[in-house]
Amino acid sequence: MKITNCRIPGTPELCDILIENGVFKKIAPNLTDVSGQTIDAEGRLISPPFVEPHIHLDAALTAGDPEWNASGTLFEGIELWARRKTTLSEQDVIERAVATVKMCALNGIQFIRTHVDVTDPDLVALRAMTQVRTMVRDLCEMQIVAFPQDGILSFPNGRGLMEEAVKLGVDALGAIPHGEFMRDYGVESLKFIMKLAEDNGLLVDVHCDEIDDEQSRFLEVLAALAISYGNGRKVTASHTCAMGSYNDAYTYKLMGVLQKAGLSFVSCPTESIHLQGRMDTYPKRRGLTRVKELLAAGLNVCFAQDSIMDPWYPMGNGHILNVLFHGLHIAQLTGRGEIDRSLEMITTNSAKALGIEDRYGLEPGKPASLLILDADSVYNAVRCQSPPLYSIRNGEIIARTEPAKKILAADSLGG
């Protein structure tokens, strides 16, 4: 396959891309090689595939069952999910997860990290998700995080369930320290999963401080453990909302620890602005972590959507560019340079968090996976949330968009 007239961020001239055997062969201007199908990108922007680094596929598409979340809080979501969980079957999880992966694939996502609730004595959702991971492999590469929604120390046999999840074949271990009954349990839960991850060669991705409580300080614990294990590149702190409420003196000290640890951050801007700030009157917090400041400190930050129609969030549709668009507003990353760099937050930064850099990116020798976006620049792609006209994975077209045509009637300019 050959793709001509490609605009590649950071390269001034238009390039051609030559793909052979599912791998990028050459990327350069005016390639004369011919190889199978040719697509003319007509000067459009080429991006590496989008990544969804934090989603809950086991709960997706259950919003309203058994009830809609009326308070809009994380805690009502957890309660509703606990009720829905009792009715799960593997088939139910598989159908909803596959439908949701397809929504993501249609929007240019080719890598997904899903959290799966393992606070269930039968691990129904996890058993289903390990099957989904195989079923969808032509559409996306999936990582599964064993996520203890109801806690590790606060849930009966919580530690045993995490160990069982390791045996069933998860890629990463999670925790929810701010949700444990008390602070000591939260600290202990992090020590437990960091050791379990080390012993089994797994990644770590913690729901960390997803609360407006300025006293929720588990991020420092996670970072300190990452420093002592020397595994910061394998550790992700998701949400870290409380950081938006910490005082500046503490945050200054914390930043130094985070830089030493070198972990990655996932912020879910649409989800957090929806769930957080619910106990505030006015001024009302945005509930987000300090995205702008983390980036300025040289830390790896990416955006995720978290939910697609689940007990926590009624919206969501797989459109990660839309999450980026809103995230830039909510985190006030709307300087021109910030917008121009922002695509990294749903592509290369996320790939780094997932640890997939060896097989990700527009470079000869790597798997030929890319998007042709319907825009001539990153600025316009983000501004207009331009759809991927083509999503190409390992040299195969896996999804296409035919954009809607908007037509102004000839007489609408008046006389």
Binding residues (CB under 5 A) for Fe ion: these are 306
What is the CB neighbour count within 10 angstroms for residue 134? 8
Choosing from 84, 207, 274, 393, the residue that interacts with ligand 17E (CB under 6 A) is: 207
Binding mask 132-151 for ligand 17E (x = CB under 6 A): -----------------x--
Is 307 among the residues that bind ligand 17E (CB under 6 A)? yes
Is 19 or 266 the residue whose CB approaches ligand 17E more closely? Answer: 266
Contacts (CB under 6 A) with ligand 17E, residues 148-187: 149, 176
Is 41 or 175 the residue whose CB approaches Fe ion more closely? Answer: 175
Contacts (CB under 6 A) with ligand 17E, residues 237-276: 271
Is 56 among the residues that bind ligand 17E (CB under 6 A)? yes
Is 306 or 374 the residue whose CB approaches Fe ion more closely? Answer: 306
Which one from 52, 141, 210, 344 is the annotated catalytic residue? 210
Tokens 């009637």 label which residue? 409
What DSSP character marks residue 49? P
Nearest residue to 287 (alpha-carbon basis) of 313, 263, 264:
313
Residue by residue, what is the 3-state secondary structure of 309-333?
Answer: CECCECCCCCCHHHHHHHHHHHCCC
Find the shortest distance in angstroms from Cβ 104 to ligand 17E. 15
Find the shortest distance in angstroms from Cβ 395 to ligand 17E. 34
Identify which range of 30-38, 285-293, 306-314, 340-348 contacts ligand 17E by CB under 6 A: 306-314
Is residue 210 among the annotated active site residues? yes
Q: Which residues lie across from 117 on neighbouring strands? A: 147
Rounded-to-integer distance, Cα 299 and Cα 255, Å: 9
Q: Are 108 and 399 in contact (CB under 8 A)?
A: yes
DSSP string, 380-409: HHHHTTPPEEEEEETTEEEEE--PPP----
Question: Helix (H, G, I), strand (E, B), or coil: what is residue 279?
Answer: coil
Tell the burial category of 20 from Cβ atoms under 10 Å away from its Cβ (0-12, 13-18, 19+).
Answer: middle
Is 180 or 306 the residue whose CB approaches Fe ion more closely? Answer: 306
Find the shortest distance in angstroms from Cβ 363 to ligand 17E. 34
Is 312 among the residues that bind ligand 17E (CB under 6 A)? yes
List, by residue number, the catalytic residues: 210
